[in-house]
Structures are given as C-alpha cells and as structure tokens.
C-alpha cells in the first residue's frame, strides 16, 4: 500500500483529530472531522448525518453515560486504501476517570477525501 501512503496519513490524521475533538467535548471540531452526508451504524440503527450542526451541542454530556471520561484508539489497521478512500479496522476503548475500562468496541471506519478534506464518511461499530 506504499502507493497510498499519503492517503493513509491523511485518513489516519482524520481519525486522530476525530478522537481528540470527541474527548475534548468539542462538537464543532468533531463534526469538522466528518464528510457529509456521514453514516453511522450502531445499536441496531442506521443514522445519516446530513450536515454540521445535526448533533445536539450537549451530546457528550448526555450520550455516553455518567461513567465515561474519555475514549481512545486501541487499534487502527488499514484494510484497503486508495487515492481518495481508506477503510480501517478499529477498536476503541471507553474509559472512566480513574482509567478503568468501560468497554472495548470493534468497528469499521471509512475515511474519504472529499473536496480536499479527509473526513469520516461511514462507521459501523458494536458500541451502544
């Protein structure tokens, strides 16, 4: 996949920024890591996020449970790569403030280059 090193680096940076904004609770910065429309499949639901501003501003306070303090990537392995799209096999971990683990969640992320911007186009996880 050396032919696609630049694509992989751009997509990997997108995932790094995605998690950093998520952990900072910065909805606007987090939404900036998506390419629209963006799709999420989790908890038996397919959600299509049409545009920035779709998420409630208090989503981090309400949506992850009272014990959640942060999340982190445990695995981000490239499955396929091309000039404008990279597929990742990932696992992320949710942590409590004391560092104990809430859970590990396997997922697939599709990161695309759209109008010069690397962003998460689709994700499917086993997270609640």
pLDDT confidence tier of residue 58, bands split at 50, 70 and 90: low
Question: Over 80: is that where the pLDDT of 55 sits?
Answer: no
pLDDT greater than 70 at residue 61:
no
The count of C-alpha atoms lying within 13 angstroms of the C-alpha of 39, restricted to the half-sphere facing its C-beta, is: 9
Least confident of 40-49, 86-95, 111-120: 40-49
Look at residue 69 and tell me whether its pLDDT is greater than 80. Answer: yes
Verdict on whether the full-model pTM lies above 0.85: yes
pLDDT at position 37 over 70: yes
Residues 26, 73, 108, 101, Cα dihedral to 10°: -100
| pLDDT above 90 (res 63) | no
Residue 93, pLDDT > 80, answer yes
């Amino acid at each position: 996949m050396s032919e696609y090193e630049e694509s992989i680096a751009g997509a990997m940076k997108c995932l790094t920024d995605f998690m950093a904004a998520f952990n900072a609770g910065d909805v606007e910065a987090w939404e900036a890591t998506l390419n629209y429309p963006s799709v999420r499949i989790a908890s038996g639901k397919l959600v299509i996020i049409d545009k920035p501003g779709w998420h409630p501003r208090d989503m981090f306070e309400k949506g992850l449970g009272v014990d959640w303090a942060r999340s982190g990537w445990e695995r981000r392995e490239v499955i396929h790569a091309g000039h404008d799209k990279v597929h990742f096999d990932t696992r992320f971990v949710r942590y409590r403030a004391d560092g104990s683990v809430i859970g590990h969640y396997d997922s697939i992320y599709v990161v695309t280059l759209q109008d010069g911007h690397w962003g998460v186009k689709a994700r499917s996880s086993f997270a609640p």
